[in-house]
Amino acid sequence: MKLHLALGFLLVVLFNQNLLTVHVEAGDDFVRTRRVHFFLNGSPYFANGFNAYWLMYVASDPSQRPKVSAAFREAAAHGLTVARTWAFSDGGYRPLQYAPGSYNEQMFKGLDFVIAEARKYRIKLILSLANNYESFGGKKQYVNWARSQGQYLTSDDDFFRNPVVKGYYKNHVKTVLNRYNSFTGMHYKDDPTIMAWELMNEPRCTSDPSGKTIQAWIMEMASHVKSIDRNHLLEAGLEGFYGQSAPQKKRLNPSLDIGTDFIANNQIPGIDFATVHSYPDQWLSSSSEQYQLSFLNNWLDAHIRDARIALRKPILLAEFGKSWKDPGFNTYQRDQLFNIVYNKIYWSAKTGGPASGGLFWQLLAQGMESFRDGYEIILSERSSTANVIAQQSHKLDQIRKIFTRRRNVQRWKRARAKRRGGWHGRNRGGHIGN
């Protein structure tokens, strides 16, 4: 109880300092940003959620849709509010887009179902529009399509440079955003179930470590998305690696030079919030568990600070996790990593900072053995990690409730003052009349 009261007092102080008392569009169910915060219908919005890249793919087979429903049902029961998933599958087996501009209606109906089902469970979606990697086609498939049309391309990174390839991508964006949902009767660009679009899952351009290629591509594509859809938020899909705009911070990167720039890329006006991913068990696989956790602490602190000071935008930890395939793995290690991530988000959120949520990788339902990658969480298995996840949902919801109560008190006081003003005015009018 003392902790709850102290938290309430701290939040009131912060709100009075105008960290969160800002006027935002209310009542339309779209998630908005204002300064370093997300808002939903006038209240702060915190995104405790998960990744489930497989949702559209599984839902394209009507007999498998109960798995999607079960995942959303379990997620909602644990207080999760956001899911990040793929709105792409280019070429290959059971694609969404089987050739540039040509689409598989059955796969699109799978995505329609995912959006409708998320809405049913009051879960917002972040939909990613392309992949950096070869799985589900990725930039390699786009480049191969252009090659088959006579374009001379020497690298998969030509995805970011070639006008024909960029035209294919822009057409895909336009097609997805203008899609009419066969379940909801609503165009995707008008559906508040969608929290945000993501330009690409983990864009990388190793052929240009200066970062100029990715910077130009994000600027062009952010402008394209916003020309079609002004309702939704947009993020780039970045992992968070520092680049040339902050050379002194490149020492914080794991030893990867991939042509992105956390600061410059997220300063682009059309990008509404920043993202960061964190996989110390992959990036620092030869290092000790303790060193990996130390890296995680520093990595998160730096990005949360930069979101507040340099970007002045919210930040979402859009991917994190720990694999049971790691040598010497035990569940305590995974819980420890989740707790570090969640505590960073919680302390930032409760002190008016920009960290607004985390999405673990990845959520599965029962009976999905072929999708297991080592990082999966099956909430119905009731692991200790599932409890850690549910506790974080509860803590962030407490912050939201305290703000909402305070906002309602303010509204009541304003309404009472108005009524009193009206009563005094009528009284004075009566005396004058006499």
| Residues recognised as catalytic | 202, 319
Parallel/antiparallel/unpaired status of strands 102-103 and 315-320: unpaired
Give the integer Cα–Cα distance in Å for 392 and 343.
8
Give the integer Cα–Cα distance in Å for 315 and 300.
10
Side-chain-facing half-sphere of 286: CA atoms under 13 Å: 2
Please tell me the total number of residues recorded for the chain in this structure: 434
- H or E stretch at 198: strand 194-198
Helices (H), 121-206: 138-148, 163-177
Through-space distance between the first and last CA atoms of the chain, rounded to whole angstroms = 56
The contacts of residue 401 (CB under 8 Å, 6+ apart) are: none
Give the integer Cα–Cα distance in Å for 375 and 53.
13
Which residue's entry shows tokens 């004058």?
A: 432
Give the integer Cα–Cα distance in Å for 408 and 402.
10
